[in-house]
Structure 1
Amino acid sequence: MDNTRLVPLRGSERSAHAHARSTGAVSDSERIEVTLVLRRRSEIPDDLVEGPETITREELAARYGAGPADIDMVKRTAEQHGLTVTQTDPAARRVKISGTLGQLRSVVQADSLTMVTTPDPADEERMVEHRQRTGDLRILPEWDGVVIGVTGLDNRPQARPHIQRMKAHAVHSSYSPVDLGKIYRFPPGTDGSGHTIGVVELGGGIPEGDLDAYFAMLGIPTPRVDVVEVGSGSNAPGDPADGEVMLDIEVIGALAPGARQVVYFAENSAQGFADAVSTAVFADPTPTAVSISWGQREDLWTAQGRAILDAALADAAAMGVTVCVASGDNGSSDGDPTGKPHTDFPASSPRALACGGTHLEADPATSTVNSESVWNNGNGSASGGGVSRTFMQPSWQANVGVPNGNGQDRRRGVPDVAADADPKTGYRVLIHGRDEIIGGTSAVAPLWAALTVRLAEALGHPFGMLQPVLYDGAAPGVSPAGFRDITLGDIGGFAATPGWDACTGLGVPDGQALLARLASV
């Protein structure tokens, strides 16, 4: 077998995990399924991604999916090397192949591939074992320029759930999601009926009985919640990520009880994350919104990993899907132990509606806001935000005063929007039969997803990328109509100011004012 023919795959270089401990070699007999991401037949125009026009899955596949000749060539060459083609999806541009590691080495190789243990991002006291690759990937020369991404050889945990718990004595106040819908003036007469929200989960599960008990407590019929298991992912309650799963579902179900939720469980890996988002985006029926409460510092992704997921978000926008993503819970450093500024991906993609967090003091009985400021409790417990090192500044963000960050000009600023996220003023939820107070920007992404479907219900159409419309009318020091500006507080490296800032974006929603504004567009 001549493996010297293989050529480097651009953007695939990967470093070892900082806390990896080797446990041995990966057996050549281990069966692995990898995802091959193919090039588009033509690039999606910016005006389709950012504009009001939307297309169907079938139209996207025909114009911007993978070409039939490319798919046939990749399938044929994989099968010639003894591999099994397990799935093809022209719209999502994916071909999945399976075989032993020994067989896969004839078409894709890493510089190094070993078994290691690393801390579980959902519970850093727990170690998880996985495959780890380092260096570049190399692929068949026939695939060069056709296959633009390969995921699955390395299945290290890729993302963290952006959820924060607080001991009871430290909680100042707490709210049910229904309270917050009133405080943020969600449009009356809407409940999300006729719309679907996709929810991406990279671990955890739905404890039996919790949803019925929680919504009975709120006096709301239990919403429809369907489960899709992607790849090796499963609905497996008993995992540390159960809190994330239940927070997402309960916030959406309380704020958009008429909407159907589809929860996509996938392995926490670059492959699992991208496959889950793509599966959610290309579902039938097409969702109105997708909520993602998981992410990781930009520099802890490979270039190909960011590109694959960013392309899936572009597909979403073209089909009218609004993707709401938590901006992170570790302030301007996003958890970098050196304190250097970082943004969290995928929130840092311009195609994502990046959702930051506040500290809210309000009276639930009257829906009166006493004060609202940037969430920052110190010790790294703060809303995520800043300036991307990777993504250029989109045109709709050019005139709001995004600072030049990291020595680079005109980069994407994060977040776009915000809502309550401080666990000290957190959300009342039910997990494993226990009442808990939870915060984190993990709560803000589903809140904005619920608001999005209620706005879409009121106006009779989905939005896709909301940002170009939301930012219209914004200027340095000025937030546009539909937002209540947050001007107090900081996240470490950035402080709140009038207008857009890298702490809470444009501000928190005034749902009724936002509806009036969107109706006039």
Structure 2
Amino acid sequence: MTETHVELPGSRRPSKSDARRLRDVDPHAHIEVTITLKAPALPDVTAASEPALTPEEFAQRYGAASGDVHTVEAVLRGYGLTTEELAPDRRSLRMSGTAAAMESAFHPGLGIYHNAEQGEFRGREGTLKVPAELAGIVTGVFGLDQRRVAHRRSAQPAESMGRPLTPAQLEVLYNFPSGDCAGQSVAIAEFGAPLQSGSFLAPAYLADDVRAFCAAQGRALPNIEIVSVDLSPLTAAQLHSLPANVGNVVLDETGEVMMDVEIVAALCANATVYVYFASFDQKGWVDLLTQVASGQPATPVCLSISYGLAEDSPDWSAAALQAINNGLQAAALQGITVCVSAGDDGSGANMSGAQAHVEFPASSPNVLAIGGTMLTGSAASEVVWWESPGRRTTKGGGATGGGVSTLFARPGWQSVSVPSLNRGGIDGRVVPDVAALAGPPLYNLILDGQPSPNGGTSASAPLWASLIARINAALPADKRQRFIAPLLYAQDADGKPQGQSACRDITSGQNASHPKPGKGYSAGPGYDAVTGWGVPDGKALLAALTRA
């Protein structure tokens, strides 16, 4: 008998060790999925890349064939699915239907699961299948499994850390060029958390906090637009109406949002800031990157991402890693520098065992990976961020992520030599590229009307995004809108890497997580796997990018 379905490569989801299956999904439940499609391979991004593509040029060159799109729609309509939208880049399709229709189309074996972090959520185990007619056309189906793969990267304040730094002090510390980012668009990625049985609750966006923070710092308030991808943020009124036990968790998640926005707002007073909100499952990642790279509502010069997960975590599927990396590559080809925090759990990346790990998407060769530092009295004593035990705990602690990827080969433009700590490790992408303040004395911020110092590499990423936007506004027209990571490794007229002259080298510290893996990478002269080229010298970076 002819098989109606075939296995979808890269779709395997293992059982989640901390979750138990409670029951089957209601067959009448409405589900929306994002389906990625076979499309032309994307070229590698190098320092000598062609001028940035427009979203329209990208879709024309790299979108899926119209015939394949029509085939997918026609076949899946036969299983009861409805088309919601063909993505503007023509590389994915959103479709919806009942859980029963999804079972018929993809054989996921959906269930309702429970764990301590998420409560109840929809999930699956094993591999998906697709109708045989779609073999080789459909490359991924996302949204059936809602397990969390976007963990925030903010640190818990230390007991004694000195006075947190203001935007003006950060500008001095990192020698920002003058300007207010006039004419620039800056994007920020935020992800929502499920806090009630079977539903996602987004973090809140507290507009009054941003206004109060900018006013307190003597900064103009930029134009801030909320972009709802898969969910909308709660308002202050909705947050304050929640039961205390739920509201406290939402406020904790909201701290990430407000830190990102306040840092960018204060450093980019005349920019337009787009804050994208998506669900923290694999579908949310794919959809958010698709929307940003499609220029909806505008093509930004940079995107700040303060979330991630160990690249080899079983919660990532191979298909999702590929789809998300494709989204990051699409952004880079359009000149968008995606600034991603390297993580706050040191060399272990919150994984167990004796191996060192790095986080994704920081390990992607299509992003600018941002590590963390801390101050011990002055800029002269800025060192690698490491607080015992080199990872986050309920009692504090944390350390910058950094190391060598086990999944992504070292890109040709990353001309550095850093061996992996893991026996038999590949010559992988090295993380991070650069760094900025993450630990003490932290950042001066406001949350829910109150002073709320915060940090982590979550703060380092929006700081770098702000600097890139400010520099982009000051660059000659033919030097703007470029993915800058490869440029930092390119040689200048004196034969030195641009990053060496554009950054202040950090030479002291390490990122070992304890008790496991108990080893880490160390800082030293030049490039290293804890702070990259170092922290920015903004004016020197502007000069370097003007020459490059």
* TM-score by shorter chain over 0.5: yes
**CA offsets 1:151-183 (integer angstroms, 9 cap, x no match):** 00001111210001215x322342013311221
2:299 aligned partner = 286
Does the aligned pair in 2 maintain the 1:166–1:438 contact within 8 Å?
yes
1:193 aligns with 2:182: yes
1:248 and 2:248 matched: no
Q: Structure 1 pair 207/478, CA: closer, same or farther in 2 (3 Å)?
A: closer
The residue type equivalent to 2:522 in the other structure is A
Offset from partner CA, 1:114-152 (integer Å, 9 cap, x none): 2112343xxxxxx43211211111111111111111100
- Contact 2:347–2:511, Cα closer than 8 Å, also in 1: yes
SS at match of 1:439: coil
Q: Per the alignment, do residues 20 and 507 of structure 1 end up closer, same or farther by CA in structure 2, a change over 3 Å counting? A: same
Aligned-partner SS, 1:495: coil
Whether 1:464 aligns to 2:479 is no
Partner Cα distance (2:216, 2:253) in 1 = 23
Paired AA for residue 148 in structure 2: P
Residue 390 of structure 1 is matched in structure 2 by 407
Instruction: Give 1:247 deviation, angstroms.
Output: 0.4
- CA drift of 1:284 comes to 3.6
1:133 maps to 124
For the pair 1:412 / 2:429, whether they are aligned, the reply is: yes
Aligned twin of 1:342: 357
More strand by share: 1
RMSD between superposed Cα atoms in Å: 2.1
Q: Is residue 170 from structure 1 mapped to residue 164 from structure 2 by the alignment? A: no
- Asked whether the equivalents of residues 47 and 413 of structure 2 are also in contact (C-alpha less than 8 Å), the reply is no
Distance in 1 between residues matched to 2:274 and 2:2, nearest whole Å: 43
Would the aligned equivalents of 2:405 and 2:426 in 1 still touch at CA under 8 Å? no
2-structure distance, mates of 1:386, 1:207: 36
Q: Secondary structure at the match of 1:214?
A: helix
Q: Secondary structure at the match of 2:523?
A: coil
Distance in 2, matches of 1:405 and 1:90, equals 42
Give the corresponding residue for 1:494: 521
Structure 1 contact 324–352 (Cα < 8 Å) conserved? yes
Moved more, 100-109 or 171-180: 171-180
Segments of structure 1 that go 5 or more residues without pairing to the other structure are 121-126, 364-368
Cα shift readout 1:294-332 (whole Å, capped 9, x = no counterpart): 100111211111111100011101111110001100000
Cα deviations by residue, 1:449-469 (Å, 9 ceiling, x for unpaired): 111111111113534321111
2:60 equivalent among 52, 62, 79: 62
Deviation at 1:343, TM superposition (A): 0.6
State the number of aligned residues.
503
* Structure 1 residues 144 and 416: CA distance shift in structure 2, 3 A: same
What is aligned with 1:142?
133
Aligned to 2:330: 315
Aligned match of 1:331:
346
For residues 43 and 498 of structure 2, what CA distance do their matches in structure 1 show?
30
Amino acid at match of 2:186: I
Give 1:93 shift.
Answer: 1.1
Give the 3-state SS of the residue equivalent to 2:216 in structure 1: helix
Matches within 5 A, 1:293-312: 293-300=306-313, 301-312=316-327
Distance 1:479 1:221, change over 3 A: closer
**2:304 and 2:210 mapped to 1: Cα distance?**
18
Match of 1:182 in 2: 172
Correspondence for 1:370 among 380, 387, 401: 380
* Structure 2 runs not aligned, ≥5 long: 193-202, 240-249, 392-397, 513-519
User: Do 2:305 and 2:338's aligned partners in 1 also have CA atoms closer than 8 Å?
Assistant: yes
Q: Which residue of structure 2 lines up, in the alignment, with residue 73 of structure 1?
A: 71
Q: What residue number does 2:230 align with?
A: 231
Deviation (angstroms), 1:236: 5.3
Structure 1 pair 375–118 and aligned structure 2 pair: CA distance change class (3 A)? same
TM-score relative to the length of structure 1: 0.92
Identify the residue that residue 277 of structure 2 maps to in structure 1: 265
Q: Which aligned segments of 4 or more residues in structure 1 are displaced greater than 6 angstroms?
A: 474-478
Q: Cα–Cα, structure 1 residues 259 and 52, in superposed 2: closer, same or farther, change >3 Å?
A: farther
- CA displacement 1:178-225 (0-9 Å, x = unmatched): 31122101112x211101111110021212411111111001121111
Determine the C-alpha separation between the residues in 2 that align with 1:11 and 1:100: 24
User: Partners of 2:410 and 2:163 in 1: how far apart?
Assistant: 37
1:442 pairs with 2:458 = yes
State the secondary structure of the residue aligned to 1:481: helix
Structure 1 position 394, deviation (Å): 0.4
Q: Which residue of 2 aligns with 1:123?
A: none
Measured against aligned partners, the alpha-carbon deviations of 1:58-99 in whole angstroms (never above 9, x if no partner) come to 111111011111111111112222211111125151111111
User: The residue matched to 1:443 in structure 2 has which SS?
Assistant: helix
Does the CA contact (< 8 Å) of 1:34 and 1:98 recur in 2? yes
For residues 264-305 of structure 1, the C-alpha deviation after alignment (integer angstroms, 9 at most, x for no partner) is: 111111101221122122124211110100100111211111
CA distance in 1, matches of 2:2, 2:48: 43
- More moved, 459-468 vs 250-259: 459-468
Q: Aligned partners of 1:234, 1:128: CA distance in 2, in Å?
A: 20
2:457 is paired with a residue whose SS is: coil
The answer (yes or no) to whether the contact 2:406–2:426 under 8 Å persists in 1 is no
DSSP-derived class of the 2:280 partner = coil
Structure 2 CA distance for partners of 1:206 and 1:316, relative to 1, 3 Å: same
Counterpart in 2 of 1:452? 468
Of 430, 433, 442, which aligns to 1:426?
442
Matched letter for residue 482 of structure 1: A
Q: State the distance in 2 between where 1:14 and 1:312 align.
A: 21
Aligned-partner Cα distance in 1 for 2:45–2:357 = 29
* 2:330 aligned counterpart, secondary structure: helix
Q: Which amino acid aligns with 2:112?
A: M
CA distance in 1, matches of 2:255, 2:51: 37
CA contact (8 A) 1:49 1:318 kept: no
Task: Decide whether the 8 Å contact of 1:397 with 1:471 is kept in 2.
Answer: yes
1:32 aligns with 2:48: no
Asked if the contact 2:488–2:499 (Cα under 8 Å) also holds between the matched residues in 1, the reply is no
Larger deviation, residues 128-137 vs 346-355: 128-137
Q: TM-score, normalised by structure 2?
A: 0.88
Tell me how far 1:340 sits from its aligned partner: 2.3
Distance 2:20 2:124 in 1: 13
- Does structure 2 retain, via aligned residues, the 8 Å contact 1:26–1:114? yes
